[in-house]
Amino acid sequence: MSSGGWWVQAALAVLRRPSLWGVAIAQALRMAPSGWWRRPPFLPVPDPAYLRFRLETQYGSDREPEPDDVVTYLHWCRTFRHVA
């Protein structure tokens, strides 16, 4: 994960799909560490070590995530929420 520019592309992919906005917010809050509102940047962002681990287990160390994978994951989260 060299540049991290995939974040912007993933965010744009989600922004083009309003039906996933709620799911994206819910997932961001679930992945955020406890008390995120007390520490800079005061946003519900996942712990960098946790995110690095999760991305490396899925993609390996030589490849960046695909924005479409984020969209697919959010669709799965929405469907799973309705099933569970």
- What's the DSSP call for residue 46? P
Question: Closest Cα partner for 7 from 30, 29, 22, 28?
Answer: 28
| Global pTM value | 0.78
Q: What is the pLDDT of residues 42-84, one digit of tens each?
A: 999 888 898 889 889 989 988 888 999 999 999 999 998 766 5
For 75, the token pair is: 């669709």
Backbone phi and psi for residue 65, each to the nearest 5 degrees, phi listed first:
-65, 155
Q: What is the pLDDT of residues 16-42, one digit of tens each?
A: 999 999 999 999 899 899 999 999 989
For 71, the token pair is: 């969209």
